[in-house]
């Protein structure tokens, strides 16, 4: 008998996805964007000027996370390039910049400039040139080229809060100083208030047109999901109730389409893992749990060491049958644990701050309770399954040796081990 190829059993496994599984990942750009028709049309109305060789107004787009800002702007860029080929009377360059990664004034200007420099040895280097040289070379090259440039600055609020608005001023100045070319800006921001940070002259020019993308409601999210299912999933695999549930959950959490799509994809993966031929509501709830648990795991892994020790203190007390602790009791156990691993403990006041932080992260519940005439005190308990918390905390190399530490049961707290 021949050996089985190592891929064989996997390849034979039935998959519920089809053709383009990518369509269920957030950076896939679909051909249709349901419920953004009006926004797309408004952008087209403004940007058509570029096809006629003119300068479109600058536009600022606001909206919460997952409301389709990036998708719409990428979509319109694709359409604009198609239109330019089909019936454009002038040249257009559409430059998309994500300011979360391209996050310094130098790199933004360099990115714009290099779009117009084809000769390798003439390109603007990643670092090293004085800013005014980057500016003047960029200006010269765009002007030589002669056309309309549209610069998209996605996450523009992050750029401004990191480096100020001078770079915006400079990009606006590029347009002013060119005679053969035009330049317009499309800015995208999560933060409505971000324009407060801008110099009034920059602000008024940047916001010639303003658009706000509202969060999607559950029905709109359903339509978005249905489109994706048609592209990425085998027929009959995803029930309508699954789509409705994913949409309803995401609508409750601020109408974020990214969440809805992630939830759907992970639900399908859950069904596959089960060997189930169809996705059911149960898989959606499993997926929701998985997403939440992944979030929590990430939050715990990135906690500072002392917070992990506090969390472990609450967890081992919980294991010993005492699930509610006062700040003082928590501090006691924490201090012993830190001595065990050879770390000097922080003050009780600092620990109290760390407890509040973890409360906000949803890792523990810290509530002020009243004990009648004994006064009020803060009571702390875990907000998550104790086993999970312990497992995640003990992944830290420095804390591994605490794996078997316990709080003595009846004596409640102090003497342990």
Ligand X SMILES: Nc1ncnc2c1ncn2[C@@H]1O[C@H](COP(=O)(O)OP(=O)(O)OP(=O)(O)O)[C@@H](O)[C@H]1O
Residues that bind ligand X (CB under 6 A): 26, 30, 33-36, 63, 65-71, 190, 224, 257-258, 261
User: At closest approach, how far in Å is the CB of 148 from ligand X?
Assistant: 24
User: At closest approach, how far in Å is the CB of 255 from ligand X?
Assistant: 10
User: At closest approach, how far in Å is the CB of 287 from Mg ion?
Assistant: 23
**Closest to ligand X by CB, 214 or 387:** 214
In whole angstroms, give the CA distance from residue 84 to residue 79: 9
Residue number of the CB closest to ligand X reads 68
**Closest to ligand X by CB, 229 or 379:** 229
**Closest to Mg ion by CB, 157 or 318:** 157
In whole angstroms, give the CA distance from residue 309 to residue 307: 5
Give me the DSSP letters along 297-365.
Answer: HHHHHTS-HHHHHHHHHHHHHHHTT---EEHHHHHHHHHHHHHHTT-PPPPHHHHHHHHHHHHHTTSEE
User: At closest approach, how far in Å is the CB of 225 from ligand X?
Assistant: 9
Distances from the Cα of 126 to the Cα of 44, 162, 295, angstroms: 34, 19, 35
**Closest to Mg ion by CB, 70 or 327:** 70
**Closest to Mg ion by CB, 84 or 155:** 155
Which of Mg ion, ligand X, none does residue 33 bind to, with CB < 5 to 8 Å depending on kind? ligand X
Q: Decide: helix, strand or coil at residue 274.
A: helix
User: At closest approach, how far in Å is the CB of 183 from ligand X?
Assistant: 23
Which of ligand X, Mg ion, none does residue 251 bind to, with CB < 5 to 8 Å depending on kind? none
In the sheet with 148-154, reading across from the earlier edge strand, the strands are 92-98, 148-154, 182-189, 59-63, 209-213
Which of Mg ion, ligand X, none does residue 261 bind to, with CB < 5 to 8 Å depending on kind? ligand X
User: At closest approach, how far in Å is the CB of 221 from ligand X?
Assistant: 9
**Closest to ligand X by CB, 100 or 395:** 100
Which of ligand X, Mg ion, none does residue 92 bind to, with CB < 5 to 8 Å depending on kind? none
Residue 248 CB partners (closer than 8 Å, separation 6+)? 218
Q: Which helix (H) or strand (E) holds 189?
A: strand 182-189
**Closest to Mg ion by CB, 71 or 407:** 71
- Dihedral pair phi/psi, residue 129, rounded to 5°: -80, 150
Which of Mg ion, ligand X, none does residue 66 bind to, with CB < 5 to 8 Å depending on kind? ligand X
CB 214 within 8 A of CB 63: yes
Which of Mg ion, ligand X, none does residue 249 bind to, with CB < 5 to 8 Å depending on kind? none
Q: How many CB atoms lie within 10 A of CB 389?
A: 24
In whole angstroms, give the CA distance from residue 417 to residue 333: 11
Residues that bind Mg ion (CB under 5 A): 70
User: At closest approach, how far in Å is the CB of 40 from Mg ion?
Assistant: 16
């Amino acid at each position: 008998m021949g050996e089985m190829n190592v891929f064989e059993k996997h390849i034979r496994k039935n998959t519920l996805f089809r053709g383009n599984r990518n369509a269920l990942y957030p950076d896939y750009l679909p051909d249709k964007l349901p419920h953004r028709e009006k926004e797309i049309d408004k952008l087209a109305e403004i940007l058509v000027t570029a096809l006629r060789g003119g300068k479109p107004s600058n536009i600022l787009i606001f909206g919460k996370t997952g409301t389709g800002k990036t998708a719409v702007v990428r979509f319109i860029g694709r359409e604009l390039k198609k239109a330019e080929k089909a019936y454009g009377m002038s040249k257009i360059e559409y430059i998309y910049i994500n300011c979360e990664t391209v996050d310094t004034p130098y790199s933004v200007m360099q990115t714009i400039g290099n779009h117009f420099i084809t000769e390798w040895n003439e390109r603007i280097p990643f670092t090293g040139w004085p800013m005014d040289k980057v500016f003047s070379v960029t200006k010269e090259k765009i002007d030589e080229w002669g056309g309309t440039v549209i610069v998209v600055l996605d996450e523009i609020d992050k750029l401004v809060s990191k480096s100020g608005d001078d770079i915006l001023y400079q990009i606006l100045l590029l347009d002013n100083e060119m005679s053969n070319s035009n330049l317009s800006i499309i800015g995208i921001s999560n933060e409505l208030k971000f324009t407060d940070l801008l110099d009034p002259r920059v602000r008024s020019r940047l916001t010639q047109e303003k658009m706000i993308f509202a969060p999607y409601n559950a029905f709109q999210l359903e339509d978005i999901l249905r489109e994706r299912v048609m592209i990425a999933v085998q027929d009959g695999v995803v029930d309508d109730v699954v789509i409705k549930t994913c949409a309803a959950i995401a609508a409750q959490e601020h109408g974020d389409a990214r969440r809805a799509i992630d939830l759907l994809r992970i639900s399908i993966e859950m069904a596959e893992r089960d060997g189930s031929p169809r996705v059911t509501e149960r898989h959606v709830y499993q997926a929701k749990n998985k997403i939440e648990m992944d979030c929590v795991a990430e939050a715990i892994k990135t906690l500072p060491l002392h917070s992990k020790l506090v969390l472990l203190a609450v967890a081992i007390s919980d294991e010993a049958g005492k699930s509610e602790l006062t700040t003082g009791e928590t501090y006691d156990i924490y201090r012993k644990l830190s001595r065990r691993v050879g770390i000097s403990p922080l003050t009780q006041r600092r620990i109290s701050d760390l407890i509040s932080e973890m409360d906000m992260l949803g890792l523990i519940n810290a509530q002020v309770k009243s004990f009648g005439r004994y006064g009020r005190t803060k009571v702390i308990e875990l907000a998550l399954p104790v086993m999970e918390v312990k497992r995640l905390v003990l992944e830290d190399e420095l804390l591994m040796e605490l794996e078997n530490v316990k709080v003595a049961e009846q004596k409640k707290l102090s003497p342990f081990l």
